[in-house]
Amino acid sequence: MAESAGRLIARILAGAWRPKSDAVDIELEELAQVATLLHQTGAGALVWWTLRHSPMGDAETVQGFHDAYRIHTMEAEAHALRAADVLGRLAAAGVTPLLVKGWAVARLYPEVGLRPYTDLDLIVRPSEVATARAVLREPPAIGVAVDLHEGPDRLDRLDFHDLVARAEVAVLGDQPVRIPGAEDHLRFMALHALRHGVFRPIWLVDLAVALEARTSGFDWMRCLGADPRRADWVASALALAARLLGARVEGTPAAGRLATLPAWLIRAVLRNWSHGTGRSHLAPVFGALVANLGHPASAWAEARRRWDRPIEATLEVGGAFNRLPRWPYQVAAVVRRSPELLRALRRRAALQR
Check whether residue 159 and residue 304 sit in a common domain: no
Which residue positions in the chain have pLDDT lower than 50?
none
Domain that holds residue 318: 282-352
- pLDDT over 90, % of the chain: 70
Choose the final residue of a domain: 273, 299, 333. Answer: 273
Check whether residue 49 and residue 132 sit in a common domain: yes
Check whether residue 268 and residue 297 sit in a common domain: no
pLDDT at 303: 57
Check whether residue 247 and residue 322 sit in a common domain: no
Instruction: Check which CATH number belongs to the domain holding 120 and give it.
Output: 3.30.460.40
Count of domains for the chain: 2
Choose the final residue of a domain: 250, 273, 296. Answer: 273
pLDDT at 276: 80
Check whether residue 257 and residue 326 sit in a common domain: no
Choose the final residue of a domain: 218, 250, 273. Answer: 273
Check whether residue 308 and residue 164 sit in a common domain: no
CA distances from 139 to 89, 118, 136 (A): 11, 21, 8
pLDDT at 82: 92
Spatial contact of 282 and 167, defined as CB atoms under 8 Å apart: no
CA distances from 280 to 197, 237, 262 (A): 8, 18, 22
Check whether residue 102 and residue 204 sit in a common domain: yes
175-179 and 168-172 beta bridge pairing: antiparallel
pLDDT at 308: 80
Check whether residue 261 and residue 309 sit in a common domain: no
Check whether residue 105 and residue 51 sit in a common domain: yes
